[in-house]
Structure formats: C-alpha cells, structure tokens
Amino acid sequence: MSLIHLLNASLISEGDEVYFHFKNFYFSGFVDKLGMICETKSNNIIVFLNKMPFENLTEWADACIQEIAKEYITRFSAWKRCTHKNSGLVLNNLRQLCGVFAVPKIPVTNATITTL
C-alpha cells in the first residue's frame, strides 16, 4: 500500500504534511495529488531541490536519513515512524484503517438492492 491508496480512501488529502524525527533532525514533506512526497524540509530548510518528488514513503525517509543526516541504518520503518500532521496519526495506523474501511464499492444492480 502506498500514499495514493490513503488519498483515494480520503484518509489524507493533497497538500497534507507528513513528518518524522531522526536524532537531531526534523524532516517534513507534503503529499501531492499523486501520493508523492515533495517540498522536503530538514529542520525547516528546503532540501532535495534538484530531485523529483519521492514516489513512496520508504524511499523518502531513506533519502532523508542517508543523504541529509548521513546515517546508514537498515531497520527504520517509515510507516511506523512518519506522522500525518493533519490528523496526528502515524501513517501505519492510517494504512491499517485504509485496509479495514476502504472496502471496494458494491455495484448497484437490482440483485444488490434486493440483497441489501
């Protein structure tokens, strides 16, 4: 599951901020309409000016940690450590909600109406 699934389920919106702390760093970025992370900041300074938006949360967090913080860790779970600023929820919680509540819509037919 990726951020686009959370967007499609209306659990997050275009322009919402996601963030995480790592040691003395505060990383944040905004979710665009395609579920990519753009406008990354490190301690409120814009970074990655010459990079395309990040396609997924893990790549974004890894790039922040490796390229900005100059750390090379292998056990960082971005979904469990990144927070959706607008709701205050960890993205893993939103991902779980998406799995539970984002049930595909049943097509409306005579049979489904009768069943309901």
pTM equals: 0.82
Question: Residues 35-87: pLDDT tens digits?
Answer: 999 999 999 999 999 999 999 999 999 999 999 999 988 778 899 999 999 99
Q: Which of 12, 35, 9 is nearest to 105 (CA)?
A: 9
Q: Which of 31, 37, 28 is nearest to 15 (CA)?
A: 31
Q: Which contiguous run of DSSP H or E holds residue 98?
A: helix 91-101
Which pLDDT value is given to residue 100? 74
User: Is-contact 39 105, C-beta < 8 A?
Assistant: no
How many Cβ atoms are within 10 Å of 44's Cβ, its own excluded?
7
